Amino acid sequence: MLILPEPIMTLLIPFKPIFRQATWIKAQILFIGAILATGKRTVTAALRVMGLGDDPHFANYHQVLNRAVWSPRRLSEMLLALLMKFLDSDETKALVFGIDETIKDAGDPR
């Protein structure tokens, strides 16, 4: 079981209700692994840096992104709300977004 320091858990805990318990545990591992990984931030790189490169259930971590039941849209809304709180505390800061024009709205039938 992954035990994270209090400052990290303070940042992560608002996202816990989005995930089922088993998925939440894997999501935390992938989050920390993505921070620690160098180069591309892939699931494989995240697991390797976390010492799970030889885990017999390696494929289950990939399923966090492609099969688990959670809402990426809800997660991004929560992240934006947290970022906005951060901005409220300092009027000299601004959020800058880079938008990829190839992203297509999931609701767009085209």
Report the chain's terminal Cα–Cα distance, integer Å: 44
Residue 105 belongs to a domain: no
Q: Is residue 110 predicted with pLDDT exceeding 60?
A: no
Residue 91 belongs to a domain: no
Q: What is the pLDDT of residue 90?
A: 67
Residue-wise pLDDT for 42-100, tens only, equals 889 999 999 998 888 888 888 887 777 788 888 888 888 888 877 766 667 777 777 77
| Total of domains in the chain | 1
- pTM for this model (two decimals): 0.70
Distance CA 91, CA 60 (A): 43
Residue 75 belongs to a domain: no
Domain of residue 11: give its range: 6-69
Distance CA 76, CA 46 (A): 20
Tokens 């959670």, residue?
70
Write out the two tokens for 54: 């030889």
